[in-house]
Amino acid sequence: MIVITGGAGMIGSIIAWHLNHKLGRDDLVIVDSIQHPEQWQNLVKRQYAQYLDKDQLMAWLDGRNDIEAIIHMGAISATTERDFNKLVADNIHYSQNLWNWCAKNQVPFFYASSAATYGDGTLGYNDANIDNLRPLNGYGYSKHFFDQWALRQMPENTPPSWAGFKFFNVYGPNEYHKERMASVAFHTFNQFSQTGTMKLFKGTKTGVEDGMQMRDFVYVKDTASVVVHFLSTATSPKNPNQTSNGIYNIGTGQARSFKDLATNVMLSMAREPHITYVDMPEDLQGKYQYFTQANMTKLSAVGYVTPFTSLEDGIKDYVQHYLLQEDRYC
């Protein structure tokens, strides 16, 4: 069995989709704590053996010897979360408990980190050296803390295969429950559909023009492909590969502007683009990343060579095959 925490979330449900449809696996245990009233729809098209609330998982794991791997995507993912005690409990202690179980039982463990760990980007986006990073918010720090903790467990207290994934700006189907934290692609589609324009931030930083804040936008199907690649490598008896243990950026390696993103959404809707520029909210000022771009050298070096979807192709697939359809779910 493969356990997927956060399995009703955006990335987790698409990992399950990948395992169902590309590998024919349905021996999945989906773990989550569904908060949004419509989030259950992320699971309707999945084939899986069991669903557990996140608070049931550790007791359920006790004494089991049939777990092939744990894919830990569950977390508080809101960059605006102010209750640091909640972040410690859900993003640090819960992750440590799963790591320790996998180390004790010699089960591969793969988990979600975040590009939010890089802070304002002044130290770059190199996954080979994370020691001096300064996240801009509590969420980013909780992920950074766990990354550092995981690295300190080597070599005595580690799963046989493990990887942490620093996801950059993920967009795509099954993000509809994320509300404010959903991608700008999703917000563009909704806002443009309702008002005929999309509001983007003015260039409030010297040298940044309106709408030209840059992000490494990565399609959610590509993130699932990377995770499943590591899973397949770790669990294949023909290809044992512990040398790939570590922390990896998951992005395209190419920064694009929010203006590019929004424009492509509108064009994929077969409509003339229209953008309105507005001031940045006060709660984001001083805590906003103006540029992110994943250094992808490390991932390539361990043999992941599948091309990432271009922004144009990813947005077109998302808009035309999901957002414009009556049934939006993958």
Angstrom distance (rounded) from CA 168 to CA 218: 7
Q: What is the pTM of this model?
A: 0.94
pLDDT tens track, the chain, 330 positions: 999 999 999 999 999 999 999 899 999 999 999 989 999 999 999 999 999 999 999 999 999 999 999 999 999 887 777 888 989 999 999 999 999 999 999 999 999 999 999 998 889 999 998 989 999 899 999 999 999 999 999 888 999 999 999 999 999 999 999 999 999 999 999 999 999 999 999 987 778 899 999 999 999 999 999 999 999 998 776 655 556 899 999 999 999 999 999 999 999 999 999 999 999 887 777 667 789 999 999 999 999 999 999 999 999 999 999 999 999 999
Residue 178 designated active-site: yes
How far apart, in Å, do the first and last CA atoms of the chain sit? 22
Q: Is 272 exposed, middle or buried (0-12, 13-18, 19+ CB in 10 A)?
A: exposed
Decide: residue 63, CB within 10 A, 0-12 exposed, 13-18 middle, 19+ buried.
Answer: exposed
Nearest to 170 by CA among 212, 217, 210: 217
Q: Are 216 and 250 in contact (CB under 8 A)?
A: no
**The one catalytic residue among 48, 125, 139, 176:** 139
Pick the catalytic residue from 54, 86, 178, 199: 178
Helix/strand/coil (H/E/C) assignment for every residue in the chain: CEEEECCCCHHHHHHHHHHHHHHCCCCEEEEECCCCCCHHHHHCCCCCCEEEEHHHHHHHHCCCCCCCEEEECCCCCCCCCCCHHHHHHHHHHHHHHHHHHHHHHCCCEEEEEEHHHHCCCCCCCCCCCCCCCCCCCHHHHHHHHHHHHHHHCCCCCCCCCEEEEEECEEECCCCHHHHHHCCHHHHHHHHHHHHCCEEEECCCCCCCCCCCCEECEEEHHHHHHHHHHHHHHHHCCCCCCHHHCEEEEECCCCCEEHHHHHHHHHHHCCCCCCEEEECCCCCCCCCCCCECCCCCHHHHHCCCCCCCCCHHHHHHHHHHHHHCCCCCCC
Q: CATH code for 2-170+218-253+293-309? A: 3.40.50.720
Which pLDDT tens digit goes with each residue over 140-180?
A: 999 999 999 999 998 889 999 999 999 999 999 999 999 99
Whether 316 is catalytic: no
Q: What is the pLDDT of residues 267-303, one digit of tens each?
A: 999 999 999 999 988 777 766 778 999 999 999 999 9
Q: What span, in angstroms and rounded, lies between the C-alpha atoms of 250 and 127? A: 10
